[in-house]
Amino acid sequence: MAKRIFITALVAGTLDIIAACLQAYISRGTAPGTVLKYIASGVLGKDAFAGGAGIMLLGLLFHFLIATACTMVFFIVYKRMKILHGKILLNSILIAITAWTVTTQVIIPLSEIQKPPFQFNKALIAIAILFVCIGLPIAISANNYFYKSKQMA
């Protein structure tokens, strides 16, 4: 299961960081490096924005750690809660909303990042990105993994 979680987190994290960089560039003209520095600033504070490639790599590492944690938690919950089995779209929505809520209500407030004001349209865009890039890959992967495990048993 660890290998499946790692691969799923890699896919979901890659899709999400690409989407986040595209969304930031299209909406604000923000370069991908600045997005990665923003992620790193959660731990390093404003000093992260003065850093270079090392800080960007650290931001990317933090991003993938969060994607891996999200994937791991869902796989554990999915395995234990039979009510979730086979419900890919519902699970994708739940994952997206949970990831957004944990990010905005737990991770950002505990970090060095200043919490931005709530804007409904930005929240919807973020949740839509999380649905497609994080929710769907994780839900599909968990469903396939546990379905195949069940068939093989």
Rounded to 10°, the helix 136-152/2-28 angle is: 160
24, amino acid identity: A
Residue 119 has pLDDT above 70, yes or no: yes
What are the residue ranges spanned by the domains of the chain?
Answer: 2-152
Cα angle 128-124-9, degrees, rounded to a multiple of 5: 35
Amino acid 152: pLDDT = 42
Residue 1 has pLDDT above 50, yes or no: yes
Amino acid 149: pLDDT = 65
DSSP state for residue 133 in the 8-state scheme: I
Chain-wide mean pLDDT for the chain?
93
